[in-house]
Each structure stands twice: as C-alpha cells, then as structure tokens.
Structure 1
Amino acid sequence: MPLLALAAWLGALVAHGLGAVGLWVAAAVPVAAGAGLRRRRGAGRATEQGSSAAPAVPAAAAVAALVLAVSGAVTLVHEARVAHNPVARLALDGAVATVEGVVTSDPRTVAGRFGDRVLVRLDVRTVTGRGRTHALSTPVVLIGGDAWRQVPLGSRVRTSGLLRPSDGSDAAALLLARGDPVRVARPHPGWRAAAAVRSSLRRSVAHLPDDQRALVPALVDGDDTRVDEDLADDFRVTGLTHLLAVSGTNLTLLVGFLLVLARWVGVRGRWLHLVGALGIAGFVLLARTEPSVVRAAVMGAVALLGLGRNGRQRGTRGLGVAVVVLLLVQPGLAVSVGFALSALATGGILLLGPPWRDALARWLPRWVAEAIAVPATAQLACTPLVAAISGQVSLVAVAANLAAAPVVGPATVLGLAAGLLGLVSDAVGRVAGTVAGWCVAWLVSVARHGAALPSAALDWGTGMVPLAVLTVLTVVVALVGPRLLARPTTGLASGAVLLLAVLVRPPVPGWPPDGWVMVACDVGQGDALVLRAGPHTGVVVDAGPDPGAVDDCLRRLEVTRVPLLVLTHFHADHVDGIDGVLHGRAVGAVETTRLQDPPQGVREVAAATAADGLAARPATYAATRTIGDVTLQVLWPTSDSPTVGPGDGSTANEASVVLLAEVRGVRILLSGDIEPEGQEALARSLPGLRVDVLKVPHHGSRYQDLDFLLSLGARVALVSVGADNDYGHPSADTLVPLEATGARVLRTDLDGDLVVVERDGHLGTVTGR
C-alpha cells in the first residue's frame, strides 16, 4: 500500500504539471519495468530448465501503473471540471453574474487596495450570466464587504458581482461581490450544532488573557485567526505550529478521549468502532469540512489505527490507503504542503518510531521512550520539506514538543469539554475553559522561551544542493539513530550535543565582515538597516515586519547596544519587528516620523517603547548629530509637514524619515518609502547631492523619480525586499536604469543580508548568500 500511495501521488503530480501526455509516459514506466523483469526471469528459466515458460508480469507493477493512471486521470477530470464550466467561461469574459451557492469556509479578512475585505469560499450551485442560467457545483472564491462576516458556514446564499479568472486550480473563478448576501436557506442541523459548540467554547475562554483566549480554540478546532503573529512565529520556530492548525493530533486526542470515555461507561466490541466513527464525523463538523480538515481527520484515524494491536503493520497499510483515497477524492492535495507534512509525519511515527522507542526503552521507562521517539521521528521525517519551505531547520522542535506534550492532551480535551458544558451552563463551561487556559499558558511559555534560545533554528538554503545534503543527513540520522540511542552513554551524549547546539550560537566564519559600515538585513518584505557606530554598537533604521528576523540579524552582527532606533514611518513592514530590536539590547532613544499614521502602527510602537521605559519622539528636520562613527542628518519630512494623516498608505510613505548618513567616509542615503513627489522636493532642496550608497525607496517600487535617484551617482544600490511578494517589488523599471549607471544593485530576496564595507578607503560589498 505505501508503494501504491506513492504511485497515486506521482500520478496526480504528473497530471497536474505535465498533463495527459506526461501521465501516459509515467504510467508506462512500471509496465515496461515489469515486462523487462518478466523477460529476464523467462530467459533465466529457459537457460536453467530448457523451458521457455515465463511468469506473468509482476502484479505489483501492473497495479502500480493502474493506480498511477487512475489518480492522474481523476486529477485531469477534476481540473477540467473546475477550469471548463459556465462559471469559468463567464470569468474569462469578465462577466457580471448572479450566483447561488453554499458557504464552505469561515470568513477571513484580507487587505485590499482601499481597505480590508472579507474572503469566503462558495460551492456555486446555480449561476446566471449573459442571459442564461446554469445548474452546477463548482468552487468559487468570493471577496465581499463586512456583511459576509455574519454569514454562517453551510448557509445557502445568493449574490451578484463581477467574475474574474482564478489564479489557482482549486477554484473556478474569483467573484467580487456587489452588495450584501441574500440568505436563501439556513445551514443543516449538523452545522448549527457545531457552530453552537464553537460559540460556547469562545464564551468559556473569553475572560482569559489574549494568548490563552486565542490558543484554546486553536487546539480544539484549528481556529487560529485570533493568534498573535509574534506568537505564531514562536510556535513555528519551535516546531509547534501543528498545534495551531487542524491536524491529526487534534483528532487523535479528541477521538481517543471519547473512546476511553466509552470504555469507561461499558461500551465494547463493534460499538467502539461506531463511537470512533461518530467522533471523527463530529470533529470534521466542528473544525469545518475544508480539505485540510478532511486530510487531518484521515491522518488522525490512521494514527489511531497505529495505536492498536499490530499497529505498525496496520498503520502503514492504513496510511497507504488513506493517501490513495484522499488523492482520488481531492486531487488538489497532491500539491498541498500540509498534506505532504501530514503524510511524512505519520509515516515517520509508524516506520521510524518503533525502532527508536525500542532502543530508548533499553535504559529508559517505556513511556518516556515513547514520549521522546514520537515527536523526534515525526520531526525528522518532515525536516527536508520544512527546510525547503522556510529555509530553516529547527533545533528545538523535539525538546519543545516533548515539553509541550504533557499539557496538549488535557488542554484539548478540557477545551472541548468547555464548549460542550457551556451549552448547559456558562459557569461550568467557564471553569473547564479556565483550566484549559492554564494548560495553554505553559505552551506559550515553551514557545516563547524556546524561540528566544540563541540557536533555536538553523538557517538552511533552499536550493537543490543544500536540500539534497539535508535529505541524505536525515536518512543517515534515521538509520543510525537507534544504534546511538540504544546505550545510555551514546544516547545521553547525542542529547548533550543537541542541547549545546541550541544554547550556544556557533560563530559564522567571517561574519560580520571586517570593515562593515552598513547592513541591510534580510527580513523579508520590509526594511531593517544597521549603521555601525562602534564595537557591538549600531544605529538601527526600521525594524522590519518580523521581530525574530531583525533580532537574528543584530545577533549575527554582535550588536548589543542601539543608541538610536529610527522608524521611518508606521507601516507594519517597518515597525512590527520593533520588539526584536529592543529585546536584550540597551536602546538609547527612538525617533519616528511626524505623521502619526496608520494608527495601528503608532499604537504598536507606543506599547513596545513604553514596555521598555522609552518614549518615541519625532525626528527633528535638518538636525545633524554624531553617534560614535555615524553622522546623521534628517532630510525629510520638513518641519511644517502634517502630523495626522487621512489613512492613505501613500501619504504615510511620503512622510518617511529620510536620512543622510556618513560612516567612515561612506555617504549613505536612507530613503524609507518616500514617494516620487517627496523625491522631487528633495531634488529641489538639495541640488548636487551625491552619495556612495543608496537604499532604494519603497523596496524598488516602479513609482520613483528616476531623475533624482540617478543624479545621486550611487555606486551601490540596496533593495530590501521579500521573495515572491504580492506587490511586484522590485520593478525592472527602477533597477535597470540604476544598473545602467554602473551601480551595483543588490537585493535581500536574492542575496540575503547586504553588507557595505570600507577597507583602506575602498568601498565594497559582501552578501549573506
């Protein structure tokens, strides 16, 4: 079954990427291999026995070819069904249509050009457009106004709007809804019951602190919409992200609890199977019937199967069956990262877990051995894929999961109990919710302290060679692990080496580079710049969007003192990482732009600085000061610029603090996100300005005053930008003219950290990749 699962997966991937021709070629491979094997066996027997009789084509090859072909064919039919139907055709024409369908997802807030919008998914049952009405069933992504937040899952609604082509294969179109939805029918009783439990659960934890109030529902039903982004990052670094989303772990805990409870009240035999099936169905309703939930339910059921008698063999067979069935029902899972991680984790537990557990059980209690082996083997199996996605290998994941394990079960079960008991009595539900909150408080502590360790995660390349090396290392560890863990000496030594690697940050040879004067940190889609003011001292300009990323950059630079932090403006990609700058460092002062907009960024900066005993103040126009080796002059905004904005993103960009810095004779223009109008004003007020290094405004956006930028004569142009961002940054319209002047243009998305160095009067650059 595992081999057939791989065949099904390969068939879906080939069909998705190469179409029908590639599918036929792929399906022919196992048949050809089987035929070749038959000929070799037949020739061998004829030589030995004087007989030309040969066995039939090996059944495994034929069945694998069949499964591969069927899986690929189902994928092609599914994609054709989504891409070639009346809704998709109307979308290609940009038609306005009226649709009626069933809401299949919870509403999510998405940032729009003119404000936040609400995104939901619909299963469209009828569509009317171009004078014709069609009955069908096809998925559509809908973007609408605030009224869509109040539409319960499972409701049948009618609405109209503009259809646009979808950019993915999982939806026939994008519907830009006009007006409010019209409810045609209520959700069926199962959806209403699940909604009542979810609502009761939220009431039972409403009195808890923010993190606990958000995490308890995430553990029970996978609703992570209220989880703070910083906390989510800490869970990611420590390998605990699976607790924030719907996963097989959730189902295993909840259904396992129901089975224990059923046994306690006397349920036996086949009735236990019924209890398990009802528990799985209830979990799916509670967590929503989205593809990720169905996948988690199936993988959780496989894990439960693996816990029984002859669990390894039954579980492995069950995993193979689950993969094949899921890919036939939902072919889009073949390209889902979540599906791959679930399958790898489950496979790691089933295949690697028993030998690791048995090795540890030679000198540890069996329950301790199992507690270590399960998270270790699951994490090990997922390591190459996680590195390919995030570019990191978590070194604390096993320890963090081990520390979290004792409270995950109680927190999940108590959370569900709080939701159920709250239907009867809010007071009783609140008691269960409170205890569940105490349990998740420990999870928060584990995630925050684990992520703060010096080497919580190891940066790893995402290219073919680094990932191939990591995959080989993973296989070696999987094979050698049981031998090392079988003896107390080698087992404890392995644990000590891992602990040392986590607690002590290994030095990076040649980093920071000698003579560095400025670094543009690779923090994704945002700015975080460091000017070297002296040993272990730096002036920081902007904090990027991620506290962990800017903190890591400053740690690598060995910066422990920040006499001045300048936040050019209050957009999230420049201020959300402020806690990462403040954490563990002596910060002298914080300066910002005069324009107090957007309000959310202003509040975040105020809260972060107040917690550190600081108060942000506006940078003074035309002020010049010297901080160690750094000389700074504020060029923008002017002293008569506004202090309150209209909430327009361009206005906030235009109010960016622009600094002219000089470090060891190197002149640097730090331009924030200033817009073309502001650049033109600077050109008028500072004719003849020349610099050595230009931080390209607004992440290399196409909206620039190129005459001004080119007139600066910069020899180095730095672009701080995130890979695969949604804004189209940077633009070739900006970069190509800069390169034409002879400037060396570097980008953080391609080159990592960008370092400007000065050695013996010569200007140079070093990159992190």
Structure 2
Amino acid sequence: MKSVDQGAIAVVRQRMAQLRAAKQATEEPERVLDLRLVPAALAAWAVTLLGLYLGWWASALCAALALPLTVMLLFRPKSRTAAGMLLVCGIVVAVAAIVSIRVHHSHEHPLRDLAQRGTFAELRVAIGADPRPLRTQGYGGNPAGAGRVAVPAELLHADVPGSNAIPGDGERLLLLAPADQWSVLLPGQHVTARGKLVPAEQNDLTVAVLSVRGSPAQVSEPPWWQGAAETLRHGLREASGVLAPEPAGLVPALVVGDTRNLAERVIAEFRTAGLTHLLAVSGANLAIVCGAVLLACRLLRLGPRTSGLLAGLALVGFVILARPEPSVLRAAVMGAIALLALVVGRERSALPALTVAVLLLLIVDSDLAVAPGFALSVLATAALVVLAPRWTKSLRSKGVPVGIAEALAVPAAAHLATAPVVAALSGQVSIVAVLANLVVAPAVAPVTILGVAAAATAPLSTTVAEWLVRLAGPPAHWLVAAGRWAAKVPGGELSWPAGTTGGLLLAALTLGFLVLLRFQRLRSLLAAGMVLLLIILVPTRVIRPGWPVTGWAAVACDVGQGDAIVLATTEPGRAVVVDTGPGPGPVDACLRRLGVQRIPVVVLSHLHADHIGGLEAVLDGRAVGAVAVGTLRHPRWAAQQVDRLTRRAGVPVLVMEAGHRVQLPGLHLETLGPVRQPPEPAAESDSGTPINDASLVLRATTPAGRILLTGDVELAGQSALLSDNVDLTADVLKVPHHGSRSTLPTFLAAVRPRVALVSAGAGNRYGHPSPLVVDALTSAGTRVLRTDQDGDIAVVATEHGPAVARRGEPRSPPR
C-alpha cells in the first residue's frame, strides 16, 4: 500500500511539473536584470568624487586599501561572489590611481598658485566647447544672458610676466570673456587670450579661470568638421527665422542645443515645467534620429546589417552637427544604449552596456563625476532600460494600449529617477513635470527630425530648409504653449532643500516609493497616502493657496540676487513694479502669484543686470503703461537692451528725476534722488559704484504707510541725500544694495524704519546682507526680513501700522 501511494504521488508530481513547464512556455519569460557591473560603476564614481572633492590623497588611499584585497581575491577559490568582489576592487584600484594622478597634477600646476595671487597672464589655449552666455551671472554690471560668455579651454602655453614660461599639457581652463568678440569662436580653434587669473571655484580639474580683457588674438582656423557643423547650424538658425521669435529660438535649441536665440522667458518656463532637458543635446535626440532611420530602413525592407550601418552613419552625422564636444559624445553613448533598449528590446543587455559606458567615460574624463548633466543622463538612461519596460508591461497587463502605456511609463520613470538631482540643483520639485513631458512628447520627435532635415538641406536650398521649418512650426508652437501652461499651474512646484542633503533626502523617498510599488499589499497604502497628499495640497496650494494675503500694499519678490518690488494700487490686478530682478523666471512667477496683469509704470532704479534682467518677462503678456529710468543711461549694453525690449513691446521710456511724482489710486510715488546729476562713468567697464549711486530713490505712500525704495545707492548717494536734508523717514525701508556694508548708520537713523526688507540671493558670494547693517537695524528696534530666508515678503496695512507676511505664513506686526 505504501509503494502504491508513493507511486501515485510521483505521478502527480510529474504531472504538476509538466503543467508548470507548459505554463512557463506559453508565458513571456521574466527578464532578470544583469546587475553584475553596477557595483563596479558605482564604486568608480564614488572614488572619483572623493578624489575631486577631498584631494588626490583620498583616491590614493582608496587604491591603497583596495590593492591588497585585490591580490587576496586573486588567490581565493573561484566563486561568483569572489569574482564580483575582485572586479570591484580591481576597478577601484585602476580608477583611483588615474584620478589621484590627475588631481595631483591639477592641484600642483603653477597656474593655480598664480591665480591665487590674481596674476595677469597671456595664455595660448584650444577652445574646448561652444562659448555659453552667463545667464545666471546677472549681477551688478554683468548682463544676464549677454555681455560675457564662459569658454571652456585647454592650455597650450602660458606666458606670465616675471615667471618662467609655463608649457601647456592640456590642462583645463575656463575663460570669462566679452560675448561680442568671443561668442563666434568654434571648438578646436587655437587663440591667445590676455587677462587676470582668478581661482577656479568648481570641484573639478579646472586649473584656473582667466577673466579675459579684449579680443582673441592669433585665432587659428577651426577643424573641418567644426566648420561644417557651424555651417549647418547657421543654416538652421537662418531657416528658423520664418517662425515667430519664440518657436524660432526653440527649434535650434531642441535639435542641436543652440540656445543663443531662445527667449529667456521660455528657458525659465521650461525649467519650472521640468522640460529643461529638451534644450540640451541628450541621448533622446540621438535615439529619435537613429530611430527614424531604422524605421525608414524597416519600411524599405533593408537587412539588419544595412539598417545598422545607416543608423550608425546617422549617429556620427548628428554628433558632427551638434558638435563633438564631451557633452555630445556622452549623449551619443547614452543614445546608443537607449536605442538598444527601445529598438532591440533587450534591457538585460542594455544595463551592462550602460555600466560599461559609465566606467569608460569616467576613465576618459574624470570631471564627468561632478557634472550634473552626466548624472542626469545616466539616471534617465537607467530609468529607460530598467523601470520603463517593466512599468509599460504592468500597464499593458491591465489593458492599457501599448502606445499609451509607453507614453506614460517613459516620462514617469525618467522624472522619478532624475528628480533628486534636479531638486539638489534647483531647490524645487516639479509636480507637473510628468504631465508636461507627457503632453509635449508627441511634438518632440517631429521638431527634431524636421529640424535635422532642415539643417542638412540648408546649404543646398534655403527654400527647402524654410519649408521644413514651417512644417516643424506647429509642434514647436505646441511645445512653447505647453511649457507656459505647465509653468503657470498653481502649486506646480514645491520648495525643497537644495544641495546634497536635499538630493539624498529625495533619493531616499524615491527608493522607498519604488520599494512600496514592489509589494501588492503596500500599494493600497501608497495609494491612500497619495490621496491624502492631494487632499492636503489641493486646498492649500491650488484652491486656497493663502497668497497673496488680503490687503497687501507691497511685496518684495524673492528673485535671487537682485531687486523686484511690487506696489499695489486699490484697483485689482493693477500694480507698479520697481526693478525686475536678474532673470525673467522669478519676477514673472511673483507677478503671477500676485495676479498682476496691468502695470502703469515699471521703474528701473538703475541699469545693472540684477535690476533689469526680468524686464522682458514683465512686459510679456501684461498691459504696461511705461518704463521709467534715471538720467544715467549706463552701462550702454543695458540701455540698448531696455530700448530694444520696450520698442518691441510698444511701451514708451520715461526719464525720472528728483521731484517727479506719480499719483495712482491708493498709491503715491515721489522721486527723492539722486539729488545731483550723476557723472558719466569714464569707461564702460566702470560700472559699479558710480551707477549704484545714480539709483532712483523713491518714497511710496501706501495704506500700510510710507515705504522708502533705495535701489543700490551707496555711500556717496546716501551722503548727498542727507546733506540736502531730504526727508527720508519711512515706516518700511528697502535696504540699499542688498544690505551691503556700504550703508551709512546715519542714513538708517534718518529713515527710522519699523520694518526693513533685504532683497538678496541665498548663499550669494558677496556676503549680502552685511551683519553690520543687520545688527544696526535690529539694535534700533527694526524688524529685518530677507528674501533669501523668508521668500516673498508682503507689507500689509493694519490699524496698528504695517504688518508683514511671508509667503505661506500668517501676517505678523513688526516687533
């Protein structure tokens, strides 16, 4: 009986095994990720970061610790675990040795010591990449997005007075140069530059920064491929001129990363909407171009070898078009991996290819370890080959059509993977980025393919290129409109701690989110948490955001290192704007939050970049009566920019002097200074204190009391106001020059404010506001608020005098 039972059990087991085998044969096999090389790539990245941030000794120490372990593992019995550890240790030794040598060579280079002393030098350099406008350096006399460019270069030879000749060995430099003379240079050209050496602030292998004076000298011819690329790029820019200005600037930016004609407002809106990646050459560009070639080959029934050859030629051609600089070459590697995952459908092979690419790129260029673009490329590509296929499969199993499933999974996976890096860089988390990328996805490929075709045909036929661009016009318009819509969504972005801490915090939350998704039972908990979050966020940030506060009379907008003050009238949606900050995005967002649509006058206290940089955004889409400036039209580039923007908007420019008054419902403006005609600066480069002292000083009488707006007036301008016995008393003071130490105690005593507003950028390198000024104000009983700490600050009228409210917080009276 026992033998019969055992035989029956054996038959049942055999039948069950057959059934399981049959079921597995009919089902799609589960693909297991090949993670063997991932620890090695992460270790190489970590070792490189240690060497760049801490010094050559840190990476050398890693090599010294890993070397004996590598030797021990060579003589251990072979096993999968031992082989994996041996691979990691061997790569750590190799990469650490390379990084140590490079960092030591960079730190010991003679130019680094000369830069610490601010020495003047003449350098022969090779241009390494396209000059890029200093869009984020709009402070003082330096224009935002114009005036100066940053030019990566490699040292060929250095001639420093009083020093021996310093031969160049390809050391990395950064040139800060005048845009009008240096922006036309192409990568690969050899030039001679003269200027002052200053220390490099980046944690990379850059030896020094040269603040260039004058034009490039002894300019060589560019390599033929760079000249060919510029011919094609120029043809694309010219052909794009048939479109409206914003789409015309977007097409070259989207196709080849050429943003020179792209409006600052579009750049700011794309940043808010989480679409900035579209404005740089990435693996997606190459995947689209090569994917189009493969699709055409499939329609023509060409064989796999021919298709692969043509796709490879398209890849090389696009790299030449977009310029074979490091970022483009990195994108080419990532694009090839993306094609491997999307076209071939073998993410098991794509992940090892990605890790090998990371290892090779870090070995070739150690600076990539600290490049945000490299991290974003790696994370986005990893999400494309790891998360997106699985999420697509999961959605398809629930009945979602394949096209919709991929359209949802790809942007969601890419955004989730890159969000920690974006948050660390910007201090914000976009909650509309996934939706925005989903909305623009259908338009990206047509613009890219038609733009590449227009660039390729422009040298042969301008007419054909223009017609191709016209075909790309509707999707380009759609991209601009979608970015603008997404940027205007109330509560579309959340403030987040910037820097490494904020990035690691969001990365931990992201990993936790992905872990929860793996467990069926925990998904319900996750869904409930998301619903609860929406219940909290929608009423507080969208339906009743709590901002602006009722009865606000003035708001100091948080625009970074610059000024932008909004003065309300008693008419809804109508306000005066005094200064516009260093860039278009922050001031535009502030005005949108306040609901300002009509502006009787925009007052520019003076023409420094951190006060006029957002003028284009203020004028765009709002009814502006006039732009008022002082009598000093300097710097010239700034005066020309104001004239150009106001002419394009059809807005007149008025000149204000001491004694001028503006009367509006609920608001009276009086110009107090400058009390003397400011002298013309001796030179264009003399753009600091003389122009600051020429700032318009305004007193605004509002329901909340008198508000003194001082621009950037410094010691001489303040002394002139005091010596002329100008009545400076006010309830609220906009502290001069972002709270710099160039403020007289007697000036503060003459104002006797109850509230002081300081407009400054978080972590600015100028030390604003000065602790001396803040202490002087607080010692006198003045409540000091700062935009770098408090964000937007509103002044509100109460029966007890002016109260203040910070964005998202209840109003409180001055102490």
Q: Calculate the TM-score normalised by the size of structure 2.
A: 0.79
Q: How does 1:223-622 map to 2 (within 5 A)?
A: 223-262=258-297, 268-270=303-305, 272-361=307-396, 362-462=398-498, 470-479=506-515, 505-506=541-542, 511-512=547-548, 517-531=553-567, 533=569, 539-557=576-594, 566-578=603-615, 592-593=629-630, 595=632, 598-603=638-643, 606-607=646-647, 610=650, 615=652, 617-618=654-655, 621-622=658-659
Cα displacement (A) at 1:228? 0.9
Question: Which residue, 34, 42, 50 being the options, matches 1:6?
Answer: 42
CA distance in 2, matches of 1:133, 1:665: 64
Task: State how far apart, in whole Å, the 2-side matches of 1:133 and 1:571 are.
Answer: 38
2:254 is matched with which residue? 219
What amino acid does structure 2 have at the position aligned with 1:385? V
Offset at 1:233? Answer: 0.8
Counterpart of 1:82? 106
Of 529-538 and 705-714, the range deviating more from structure 2:
529-538
Distance 1:103 1:544, change over 3 A: closer
Aligned equivalents of 1:481, 1:181: Cα separation in 2: 57
Q: Counterparts of 2:567 and 2:354 in 1: how far apart (Å)?
A: 53
Say if 1:97 and 1:506 are closer, same or farther in 2 by CA, change over 3 A: closer
Q: 1:330 offset after TM fit, Å?
A: 1.1
Instruction: Assess, with a 3 A threshold, how the Cα gap between structure 1 residues 662 and 26 changes in structure 2: closer, same or farther.
Output: farther
2:172 to 127, 134, 139: 139
CA contact (8 A) 1:27 1:66 kept: no
Structure 2: which amino acid aligns with 1:372?
Answer: L
**Distance apart, 1:509 and its partner CA:** 6.8
Shift of 1:165: 4.0
- 1:66 and 1:256 map into 2 onto residues whose CA distance is 37
Return the offset for 1:87: 4.5
Deviation at 1:229, TM superposition (A): 0.6
Of 561-570 and 686-695, more deviation after overlay is shown by: 561-570
Alignment CA distance shift 1:238-1:675 (3 Å): same
Structure 2 CA distance for partners of 1:211 and 1:176, relative to 1, 3 Å: same
- Which segment is superposed worse, 559-568 or 222-231? 559-568
Report what 2:200 is aligned to: 166
Q: Provide the C-alpha distance between the structure 2 equivalents of 1:393 and 1:157, rounded to a whole number of angstroms.
A: 42
What is the match of residue 700 of structure 2? 661
Q: Which residue matches 1:45? A: none
Residue 700 (structure 1) aligned to one of 739, 751, 760 = 739
Alignment match, 2:189: 155
Residue type at the aligned position of 1:329? V
| Amino acid of the structure 2 residue aligned with 1:207 | V
Contact 2:553-2:704 at 8 Å conserved across structures: no
RMSD over aligned Cα atoms = 4.5
**Residues 550 and 164 of structure 1: CA distance in aligned 2, closer, same or farther (over 3 Å):** closer
Residues 178 and 556 (structure 1 numbering): CA distance in 2 closer, same or farther, change over 3 Å? closer
Change (3 A) 1:503 1:595: farther
1:761 is matched with: 800
Query: Is the 8 Å Cα contact of residues 60 and 96 (structure 2) preserved in structure 1?
Result: no
1:635 aligns with 2:667: no
- When structure 1 is superposed on structure 2, of 314-323 and 129-138 the one drifting more is 129-138
Which blocks of at least 5 consecutive residues in structure 1 are unaligned?
43-52
Query: Structure 1's 637 and 217: CA in aligned 2 closer, same or farther, altered over 3 A?
Result: same
2:126 to 89, 102, 113: 102
Percent pairwise identity: 39
Q: 1:319 to 1:501 in 2, by over 3 A?
A: farther
| Alpha-carbon shift at residue 673 of structure 1 (Å) | 2.2
Cα deviation, 1:587-622, whole Å, max 9, x if unaligned, reads 777655455554245326635764xxx656455744
Aligned-partner residue type, residue 156 of structure 1: H
Name the CA distance, whole Å, in 2 between partners of 1:752 and 1:383. Answer: 22
Measure, in 2, the Cα distance between the counterparts of 1:290 and 1:499: 47
Measured in 1, the distance between the counterparts of 2:679 and 2:318 equals 53
> Could you tell me how far apart the structure 1 residues matched to 2:466 and 2:620 are?
35
Deviation at residue 554 of structure 1 after TM alignment:
4.4
How many equivalent pairs are there? 752
1:733 to 1:604, Cα distance in 2 relative to 1, 3 A: farther
Letter of the structure 2 residue corresponding to residue 167 of structure 1: E
Instruction: Give per-residue Cα distances to partners, 1:23-63, cap 9 Å, x unaligned.
Output: 466679999999999xxxx9xxxxxxxxxx99897333343
Indicate the residue corresponding to 2:6 in structure 1.
Answer: none
Q: What is the one-letter code of the residue matched to 1:72?
A: A
- Specify the alignment match of 1:48 in structure 2: none
Distance in 1 (alpha carbons) for counterparts of 2:268 and 2:441: 19
Q: Which residue among 206, 213, 221 is the counterpart of 1:186?
A: 221
Q: Is the 8 A contact 1:201 1:415 kept in 2?
A: yes
Greater shift, 218-227 or 120-129, is seen at 120-129
Do 2:423 and 2:502's aligned partners in 1 also have CA atoms closer than 8 Å? Answer: no
Instruction: Report the CA distance shift for 1:113/1:394 in structure 2 as closer, same or farther (over 3 A).
Output: closer
Check if 1:722 corresponds to 2:761. Answer: yes
Distance 1:601 1:512 in 2: 31
Q: Deviations for 1:491-540, whole angstroms, at most 9, x for unmatched residues?
A: 9x999998997999525676555775543221212222234555956554
Q: Which residue of 2 aligns with 1:123?
A: 154
Aligned partners of 1:562 and 1:587 also within 8 Å: yes
- Give, as a single letter, the amino acid of the residue that structure 1 aligns with 2:83: A
Amino acid at match of 1:384: P
TM-score by length of 1: 0.84
State the distance in 2 between where 1:472 and 1:385 align.
12
Contact in 2 for aligned 1:596/1:645 (Cα 8 Å): no
- Residues 89-112 of structure 1 show CA distances to partners (whole Å, capped at 9, x for unaligned) of 655566665544432222345589
Q: Structure 2: 5+ residue runs without aligned partners? A: 1-36, 810-815
